[in-house]
Amino acid sequence: MKNKRHANRLKKRKRKKLLIFFLILVLLFLGILLYIFVEYQQSLKNSRNSSSLQHENIEFKGVKDKSKKINILLFGIDARGEEKSRADTIMIAQYDPEAKKFKIASIMRDSYVSIPGHGKDKINAAHAYGGPELLRKTIKENFGIDVEYFVLVDFKGFTKAIDKAFPEGIEINVEKEMSKGIGVTLHPGVQKLHGKELLGYVRFRKDAESDFGRVRRQQEVLKQIADEFISIKGIVKLPGVIGTIQPYILTNMEYKEVLSILTSFLSSNTKNIDFFRIPIDGSFENVTYPQIGAVLDIDIEQNKKAIKNFLYK
C-alpha cells in the first residue's frame, strides 16, 4: 500500500513537471509570435518612406498549379528610376506544402527564346518589353511552366536584407579575386561578406565561367542563407527582414502568404533545397546574333522536358 502511494506521488510529480514544461513551451511560442508581430510592424513603419520600386497594381495573370504546388517567379533587377530594366536574375521557386520542400530552377538570362509579340531574344529582355506578365508568358510558352506569383527584387533590397538579417555577414569562400563590374573588390579566401560585398559576389561574371559561375554562386548563397535561417532565431528574424526589403519589392503576394510559406518550411523536418539550371549541360550553343549579341541558343524541347522533370518528379 505504501509503495502504491509512493508510485502515485511520483506519477503526480511527473505529470506536474510535464505540465510546467508544456506551459513553458506555450509561453515561448506566444512570445515568439508577439515578437514577430512587433518586429514586423516596426520594420514596416521604418521603411515605408524609402521605396525605390513602386508598389502598384500591375497586370499579372498568375495560374495556380494543378498539383497544388506553389510556383513563384523570382527575378532581380538593378532599378534606375523609370527605366524598364532587363531582368538580371531569373528563377522559378516551387514550394510543395505537403512535402514542405523548396525547389529552385535558375534560368540563365542569355537563354535565346521566343518572347510573345517580340520574336526571339534573350529571356531577360521580356521584362523590359512587358514587365512581369510578359516574363510569365515567355516562361509558359517556352518551358510549359505556369507560375502563380511573382517577386521582383531591386538589388538594393538584397543588400539591406542581408545586413538586417546577418549584421556580422555571411561566411563565403571567395575562390578568386573579383572586382570588374561589381562595384567592390573581393580577395580570395574564407571571409564574412556583408550585403554590398555579397551582392558583388553573386553578380560577378567576368571570368571564364561567365554566367554559369554566376548562377552557381547565386545558388550557393541561397543555400547558405537558408541554412542560417533554419532555427528559432532565424524564424524570429523573418518579419524584420521582410519589413526591411519590402520597399524594394514588387509582388502580387500578401505578407501573410510569404510568412506562411517561410515559417512552414523553416519549421519542417526537411530543410533541403534542390537546385537546377536551365540550360542543362549539352543542350545549348554559344551564338552571336546581329542586334542581340552573344546568346545561349538552347534546345527548347530538351530543356522544357528537363525542367518539368525537376519540378514534378
CATH of the domain at 141: 3.40.630.190
Domain enclosing residue 84, as ranges: 62-312
- What does the block give as the cell for 62? 498568375
Cell of 182: 561589381
**Residue 189 counted as domain residue:** yes
Query: Is 32 inside any structural domain?
Result: no
Residue 125: inside a domain, yes or no?
yes
Does residue 66 form part of some domain? yes
CA–CA separation, 52 vs 79, rounded Å? Answer: 7
**H or E stretch at 120:** strand 119-122
pLDDT at 242: 74
At 225 the pLDDT is: 85
In a domain, 308, yes or no: yes
Per-residue pLDDT at 114: 98
| pLDDT at residue number 81 | 44
Query: For residues 42 and 182, what is the distance between their CA atoms, to the nearest angstrom?
Result: 32
pLDDT of residue 245: 78
Least Cα distance to 236 among 271, 256, 266, 269 occurs for 266
Residue 148 per-residue DSSP state:
S
C-alpha atoms less than 13 angstroms from C-alpha of 56 in its C-beta half-sphere: 7
Number of independent structural domains in the chain: 1
Q: Residue 177: what residue type?
A: E
Whether residue 29 lies inside any domain: the answer is no
Does residue 46 sit within a domain?
no
In a domain, 187, yes or no: yes
pLDDT tens by residue, the chain, 313 residues: 556 666 666 666 767 666 665 566 555 555 555 555 555 555 445 544 444 444 456 789 999 999 999 999 999 887 654 456 888 899 999 999 988 889 999 999 999 999 999 999 999 999 999 999 999 999 999 999 999 999 998 888 889 888 988 899 999 999 999 999 899 999 999 999 999 999 999 999 989 899 999 999 999 998 888 877 766 566 667 777 777 777 888 888 887 788 788 777 767 666 678 999 999 999 999 999 999 999 999 999 999 999 999 999 8
